[in-house]
Chains A and B, each alone.
Chain A
């Protein structure tokens, strides 16, 4: 079964359409990337899937079930999102401990703090950070809390919006390894937005390239490695990444 199916999805904000006819399928256990121009609608697609924007037409199916934008069911046990902006997505007056244990409490899951400790360790934060507030942490530390929170409920599907762009490569490597491991162990599915093609190459099987609200191409990791895209814009992105290496 596919985890996500989007058919001819159009998404708008206050009647201004920003995503035009997007279609893609992400298989269960697959890791799929959305890349492309800034402002092209990548975050918008994730937000529509997880119910943060209901102004869309077309079809969204999650695990075979059609999503009805007017009757949202709670999908938080199935799917979790990590937002692009770790500053805005953490509650400023809640400690890390509260932020992480809250999803468990809400879903009536009993836990004596073991899972909080486990998830903090998994994202490379030691126990010193457990009772800190967001403003007492660096940008990358906050992002890791956001990732840990998304993992608390052991979702099947993770929507990740630039999960490692605030992180230096060493922490990024730890998080990417963790995501890859989770995928192997728990058959997790990822839909990941990133502007970083090497990250796609490491973590994803396929990628969709977006430009001006449209998906211009869906390609495989193999095409990415060889730089054999069909669309000029994808090729442009590839070329730009290729030139980038420590002098």
Chain B
């Protein structure tokens, strides 16, 4: 049975502004199995809005419509807010681009991880404490016993990201949406954290939507890549085939990356007139 985990057809996200309605996601369609799909694209191209739309987390006055919008046989178009709340976290979870914003500011790191664990399983206090420390270790936090006692405003940027990832993995969701999950981490910690996510995904047969602007990362941690530009999907490729990208936008992205032994005085930037015509 090759049941699709997610089917999206003609997804649109619209916001009213002074200048009239703006469509920021313009009728995109894609399917996802139990695989790793990446969405890359320029800042403002609609990556986060696509992720949030799947969880129906677009704030009013924004509007979401889709011809087909089905998660594991469940018609998302027909789900009430109450039903969505049950899906969120438990079956679909999202690591937000603004991790510190998504953590509860008045709970210590230890208390929020414990809370997430408790909704998932019954554990004694001692087991909880051990599990919390174990989770922090898994995301490569140094000195987990100290960090557990800190509040969100007291952790560094990269620590916040990893805490958020640890929390989102606890319920073992069927679909994980990770929005720039490691953008504050250096390459080696990034790799360790992504390996952790990767292992879990393979082990549990989960689906992953990895939103990133980092082409290297995507080439290594996704099977398939969607390239978005101005609310549309402009290219779809196997990750292994990324360097053969043909769309000028994707090629432009590949050239704009600085290198370790950089000698160029200026980095090539994109000539947006080449494709913004639509």
Contacts and interface: CB of A to CB of B under 8 A. Distances in A.
A225 interface: yes
B159 interface: yes
B240 interface: yes
B138 interface: no
Interface string B183-195: 1111111010000
Contacts of A87: 98, 100-101
Contacts of B262: 198, 201-202, 225
B19 interface: yes
Interface stretch (A74-82, A131-139, A149-157): A131-139
Contact of B267 (A140, A173, A195): A173
Interface stretch (B37-45, B109-117, B167-175, B197-205): B37-45
Contacts of B240: 247
Contacts of B162: 38
Contacts of A36: 186
A108 B95 CA distance: 42
Nearest to A181: B266
A36 B264 CA distance: 24
B189 A38 contact: yes
Given A224-B260, A246-B254, A173 B269 contact: yes
Contact of B213 (A88, A168, A237): A168
Contact of A195 (B101, B142, B186, B215): B186
B73 interface: no
A17 interface: no
Interface in A35-92: 35-39, 42-43, 84-85, 87-88
Contacts of A176: 258, 267
Interface stretch (B75-83, B86-94, B123-131, B150-158): B150-158
A172 interface: yes
B27 interface: no
A236 interface: yes
Interface of A: 13, 16, 35-39, 42-43, 84-85, 87-88, 128, 131-132, 135-141, 144, 161-162, 165-174, 176-177, 180, 195-199, 201-202, 212, 224-227, 236-238, 240-247
